[in-house]
Structure 1
Amino acid sequence: MSQTLQHSGKVAPSSGTPRGITFTLAELAGRGAMFLILIVLVTIFGIIQPVFLKVENLLDILEAVSVTALLGLGITVSLAVGGFDLSVGSTAAMGVMTAAYAQVVWGWGTVPTVLLVLGVGIVIGLFNSLLIIVLRVPDLLATLGTLFLVGGLQLIPSAGNSISTGMIFADGSSANGAFATSFLALGRTRLWGLLPLPVIILAAVAVLLWILMERLRWGRALYAVGGNALAARLAGAPTARLRMAAYVLSGLLSALGGILLAARVGRGDIMTGGSLLQDSFAAALIGFAVLNLRRPNILGTVVGAILVGVLLNGLTMLNAPYYTQDFIKGAVLVGSLALTYRLGRSRR
């Protein structure tokens, strides 16, 4: 029968929607579901609270998520090599405290402070690499240990106190320095009076990482290590160096996030790291569902961070009790991910 149809050029009639079209529609639905959910959330918040849709508020959301997104990008790189960096929040907090100590206590300027904080991020990344690659400690355990180690270390110089101008140390000495105006500008400048500088920095970093991860051979090698490290090593990939580079990059991005956060708040706040870890992980993991890629990716992490920021900002504007916000945020995120994966699953 099939041969007859093939030679005659006729097409057998079918009832219902062709399978190929159904698959295409399902795939498109899965790829676009997260963007649709984001649009729906923005629309709902805008209808209930029209101020939400003002350009100033939308830019405030992007500015607020810029640090979370940077940390999420660091996590994304570590996930690409099959790892998991739990220390990003503590690294960012260490960056905040280091920047504050360098300027308020030591009286350093902007450039040496930025270089010092970035250097601290690189050192933490190298320390994670030492534990994971050389000592063969599992990624989760190694970075969990670093989380506690760095989180405790940042408190020692200030005896557990936040750092601000005029603070008194236990020995009676005082900190008479102040944050440099040029340093504070990194977190507070708005180009043309509207566009926050941290958003531009995030966009530049995200574009560079996207090119690195999606378009260059180095990025493909990272994903190969995460997919099958043994096969990648047999194929000639320097797996140890790639994993080390991923953790160093994660530490560097976390330190950059700490710089922007310190520049925004203008003090060394000891309570910085906790919420950053939770939201940055949420952003990175939500990214798996964006475009239905089901793998760590740069665009997905940025979209995930924006989704988390929209939820937090919208719930705050609606005066949702603080003790319900995490539950509502979790319910929306779980529902979004379930819907995305359900729509985007391949037909058998």
Structure 2
Amino acid sequence: MNDVLHEPAAQPEAPRTAAGKPVLRFLNDWGIVLAILALILFFAMTAPNFLQGTNLVNILRSISIVTIIAIGLTVSLTVNGFDLSVGSTATFASSLVVSFFVWYSLPLGVSIGLALVIALAVALVNILLIVKFKIPDLFATLATMFIFEGVAMTYTGGGSISAGMPRLDGTPTVGLIPESFLKISQAPWIILIMLVVVAVTHVFLNHTRHGRFLYIIGGNPEAAHLTGIRVNRYRAVAYLIAGLLAAVGGILLASQVGSSQINAGSGYLMPAVAAAFIGSSFAGQGKPNALGTLVGACLVGILENGLVMLSVPYYSLNIIKGAVLAIALASTYYRFKKN
């Protein structure tokens, strides 16, 4: 009898719980934007130069390469894949394009075109391992990450390549890196390239039949196969796009640095992963998407830029960035469930 009498007392909690759902849903859908606005407000108050136009352009320029690589990773995520080799692909492409300039004195268009085509070897190996041999994406791309990281280092002799440096056998080089190549990593060109990549990918994924097929495969590959979608072919296309955009990122990195550096692209893997995963909840989409990836990259870029302006020691940057990204991811993947 006492249990029956006390049972209605718990009912008033229901309205509060129901009222909390829209708030949690709003935070889940727009948490990234709120985090960006909070960071902008904080850094604007603590770093007087943060909102200056030149600094905002610097932020956009700094996230351009990360965003382009992350967009490729996003496409692989649409088919429920995961490409860990994008950093190695960027390093490989960077080494190739600079070597074509310095070692072989090839013209601009030929050097970039060859670097893109040869760097796609990483994607082709990924496709062979994943589609043909049925190795899980994570393990296959982990293997190719190490393989082509080693290929790039072997190709360059474990060192950097820059104008005036002799080849591995000591042969002098006379090739120069074209000024026009160095300019593509400067504002506004690199920002425009980033925006074009984001826009084209957004249209492809959301407004074409092929993009919708990628999402269908990522949701249920068996059902996609039964409806007549060529699952393996589209998975291969996703990894080709991921490899191509990673190679583009590597070429822009070479333009930005003006040389080829050891493992230059490896530092872009984790920011790209963070941008792609954080952006999956943007505007309540709940799936990998190009616009969300751009917003996720903005979050990472604003955070890093603001911390540098506040003179936070470099050895502490990863702690703060990791904590903020963990909070952002928690808001992304937390789902309010009815008990």
TM-score by length of 2: 0.91
Counterpart for residue 112 of structure 2: 114
Which structure 1 residue ranges, 5 or more long, are not aligned? 1-13, 191-195
| One of 126, 129, 132 as aligned partner of 2:127 | 129
| One of 272, 277, 289 as aligned partner of 1:285 | 277
Counterpart for residue 3 of structure 2: none
- For residue 92 of structure 1, give the secondary structure of its aligned residue in structure 2: helix
State the 1:281 CA deviation: 0.8
1:267-311 deviations in whole A, cap 9, x for unaligned? Answer: 111131221111111111111232233321111111111111111
| One of 96, 103, 106 as aligned partner of 1:105 | 103
Counterpart for residue 9 of structure 1: none
Counterpart for residue 260 of structure 1: 252
1:195-221 deviations in whole A, cap 9, x for unaligned? Answer: x21111111111111111112111111
Counterpart for residue 30 of structure 2: 32
Counterpart for residue 221 of structure 1: 213
Q: Return the alpha-carbon distance in structure 1 between the equivalents of residues 172 and 41 of structure 2.
A: 50
Q: Return the alpha-carbon distance in structure 2 between the equivalents of residues 44 and 216 of structure 1.
A: 40
Q: Return the alpha-carbon distance in structure 2 between the equivalents of residues 15 and 325 of structure 1.
A: 42
Counterpart for residue 308 of structure 2: 316
For structure 1, which segment, 169-178 or 297-306, has the greater mean C-alpha deviation from structure 2 after superposition? Answer: 169-178
Contact 1:92-1:257 at 8 Å conserved across structures? yes
> Which amino acid counterpart does residue 178 of structure 1 have in structure 2?
L
1:136-173 deviations in whole A, cap 9, x for unaligned? Answer: 12111111111111111111232111001121334221
| One of 333, 336, 339 as aligned partner of 1:345 | 336
- For residue 163 of structure 2, give the secondary structure of its aligned residue in structure 1: coil
State the 1:255 CA deviation: 0.6
**Residue correspondences, number:** 328
Counterpart for residue 182 of structure 2: 184
Counterpart for residue 72 of structure 1: 70
Q: What are the residue-to-residue correspondences of 1:1-348 with 2, within 5 Å?
A: 23-188=21-186, 190=187, 196-342=188-334, 345=336
State the 1:92 CA deviation: 0.5
State the 1:121 CA deviation: 3.2
State the 1:15 CA deviation: 12
State the 1:117 CA deviation: 1.7
Contact 1:30-1:345 at 8 Å conserved across structures? no
Contact 1:121-1:248 at 8 Å conserved across structures? no
Structure 1 residues 183 and 15 mapped into 2: Cα distance closer, same or farther (>3 Å)? Answer: closer
> Which amino acid counterpart does residue 229 of structure 1 have in structure 2?
P
- For residue 154 of structure 1, give the secondary structure of its aligned residue in structure 2: helix
Structure 1 residues 80 and 52 mapped into 2: Cα distance closer, same or farther (>3 Å)? Answer: same
Contact 1:292-1:340 at 8 Å conserved across structures? no
TM-score by length of 1: 0.89
State the 1:18 CA deviation: 9.7
Structure 1 residues 15 and 123 mapped into 2: Cα distance closer, same or farther (>3 Å)? Answer: closer
Structure 1 residues 115 and 22 mapped into 2: Cα distance closer, same or farther (>3 Å)? Answer: same
Q: Return the alpha-carbon distance in structure 2 between the equivalents of residues 205 and 255 of structure 1.
A: 13
> Which amino acid counterpart does residue 336 of structure 2 have in structure 1?
R
1:305-340 deviations in whole A, cap 9, x for unaligned? Answer: 111111111111111111211111011111223235
> Which amino acid counterpart does residue 215 of structure 2 have in structure 1?
Y
- For residue 166 of structure 2, give the secondary structure of its aligned residue in structure 1: coil
State the 1:248 CA deviation: 0.3
For structure 1, which segment, 287-296 or 156-165, has the greater mean C-alpha deviation from structure 2 after superposition? Answer: 287-296
Report % sequence identity.
38
Structure 1 residues 154 and 347 mapped into 2: Cα distance closer, same or farther (>3 Å)? Answer: same
Please tell me the root mean square deviation across aligned C-alpha atoms, in Å: 2.0
1:207-254 deviations in whole A, cap 9, x for unaligned? Answer: 111111112111111011111111100110010100000000000000
Which structure 2 residue ranges, 5 or more long, are not aligned? 1-11
For structure 1, which segment, 292-301 or 77-86, has the greater mean C-alpha deviation from structure 2 after superposition? Answer: 292-301
Structure 1 residues 142 and 341 mapped into 2: Cα distance closer, same or farther (>3 Å)? Answer: closer
> Which amino acid counterpart does residue 55 of structure 1 have in structure 2?
G
State the 1:341 CA deviation: 4.5
